[in-house]
A and B are shown apart, each in its own frame.
Chain A
Amino acid sequence: MISFNLLIAVSLGYVAFLFLVAFAAERRARRDRGQWLRNPLVYTLSLSIYCTAWTFYGAVGYAARSGFEYLTIYLGPTIVMIGWWWILRKLVRIGKTQRITSVADLISSRFGKSTALGVLVTLLAVAGTTPYIALQLQSVTQSLAVFAAQPGSGWDAGEFEGAAIWIAVGLALFTLIFGTRNLDVNERHHGVVMAIAVEAVVKLFALIAVGVFVVWGMAGGVSEMLARIDASAIADWQPVPHRWVGLIFLSGAALLTLPRMFQVMVVENADEKHLATASWAFPLYVLAMSLFVVPIAVTGLNLLPDAANPDLFVLTIPLATGNESLAILSFLGGFSSATSMVIVATIALATMVSNHIIAPIWLSSTQTGAALSGDVRGVIVMSRRISIAVILALGYLYFRLSGGGAALASIGLISFAGVVQVLPAMIAGIFWRGANRIGAGTGIVIGFAIWAWTLFLPSFGAGAVLSEAVMAEGPFGWGWLQPYGLFGITGLDPVVHTVFWSMFFNTGALVTLSVLTFPNPIERLQGAQFVNVFENSAGARTWAQSAARAEDLLIMAQRIIGHAEAQAMFRQEARAQGIDGYLPEVTPDLIGRLERMLAGSVGAATAHAMVGQLTGSAAVSVEDLIAVADETAQIVEYSNRLEAKSAEQERTARALREANEKLTAISIQKDAFLSQVSHELRTPMTSIRSFSEILREGEIDAEARARFAGIIHQESTRLTRLLDDLLDLSYLENGQVQLDLGRGSLADVLDRAVMAAGVPGDRLALRRDSASERVQIETDLERLTQVFINLITNAAKYCDADRPELVIRARAGAETCEVDFIDNGTPLDAEAQVLIFEKFSRLADEGKAGGAGLGLAICRQIMESLGGGISYLPGQGGPAFRVTLRHRARMAAQ
Chain B
Amino acid sequence: MGRRVLLIEDEPNIIEAISFILSKDGWTVHTHADGETAVDRVRDGAPDLVILDVMLPGRSGFDILRDLREGAEAAADLPILMLTARGQQRDRDMAEQLGATRFMTKPFSNSEVLETVRALAAP
Contact = CB atoms under 8 A, between A and B. Distances in A.
Contacts of A776: none
B121 interface: no
A644 B72 CA distance: 63
A690 B86 contact: no
A714 B85 CA distance: 19
Contacts of A715: 13
Contact of A682 (B10, B16, B87): B87
Interface in A673-704: 675, 678-679, 682-691, 693-694, 697
Interface stretch (A322-330, A425-433, A615-623, A841-849): A841-849
Given A682-B85, A845-B57, A847-B57, A687 B21 contact: no
A683 B14 contact: yes
B107 interface: yes
Given A675-B88, A683-B11, A691 B57 contact: no
The B contact surface, by secondary structure, is loop
Contacts of B87: 678, 682
Interface string B97-123: 000000001111111000000000000
B121 to A, nearest CB: 20
Contacts of B86: 675, 678-679
Contacts of A687: 11, 13-14, 17
A682 B107 contact: yes
B110 A690 contact: yes
A127 interface: no
A686 B58 contact: no
A169 B21 CA distance: 113
B57 A686 contact: no
Given A682-B87, A847-B57, A689 B108 contact: yes
Nearest to A848: B12
A697 B24 CA distance: 12
Contacts of A679: 55, 85-86
Interface in A370-396: none
A847 B56 CA distance: 9
Contact of B106 (A682, A693, A844): A682
A40 B110 CA distance: 101
Nearest to B12: A848
A771 B91 CA distance: 56
Given A683-B85, A687-B17, A694-B20, A844 B57 contact: yes
A847 B13 contact: no
A847 B10 contact: yes
Contacts of B111: 693
Interface string B68-96: 00000000000000000111100000000
Interface residues of A, number: 23
Interface in A809-849: 844-845, 847-848
A689 B13 contact: no
Interface in A838-894: 844-845, 847-848
A711 interface: yes
Contacts of B16: 711
B39 interface: no
Counting chain B CB atoms within 10 Å of each CB, the highest count among A686, A688, A693, A694 belongs to A686
Given A845-B57, A847-B11, A694 B110 contact: yes
B104 to A, nearest CB: 11
A636 B121 CA distance: 70
Interface string A642-686: 000000000000000000000000000000000100110011111
B85 A690 contact: no
A690 B17 contact: yes
A711 B12 CA distance: 10
A685 B57 contact: no
A683 B111 CA distance: 18
A667 to B, nearest CB: 15
Nearest to A674: B88
B112 to A, nearest CB: 10
Interface in B14-30: 14, 16-18, 20-21
A844 B58 contact: yes
Nearest to B109: A693
Interface string A47-65: 0000000000000000000
Contacts of B55: 679
A844 B57 CA distance: 5
A679 B85 CA distance: 5
A297 B12 CA distance: 117
A142 to B, nearest CB: 100
Contacts of A848: 10, 12
B55 to A, nearest CB: 6
B14 A686 contact: yes
Contacts of A675: 86, 88
Given A685-B107, A847-B11, 9 more contacts: A686-B11, A686-B85, A686-B106, A687-B11, A687-B13, A690-B17, A691-B13, A694-B20, A848-B10
Q: Lowest 10 CB-CB distances: which A-B pairs, in order?
A: A682-B85, A690-B17, A687-B13, A686-B106, A689-B107, A686-B107, A693-B110, A679-B85, A685-B107, A847-B10
11 contacts: A678-B86, A679-B85, A683-B11, A683-B106, A686-B85, A687-B13, A690-B17, A690-B110, A693-B110, A711-B13, A845-B58
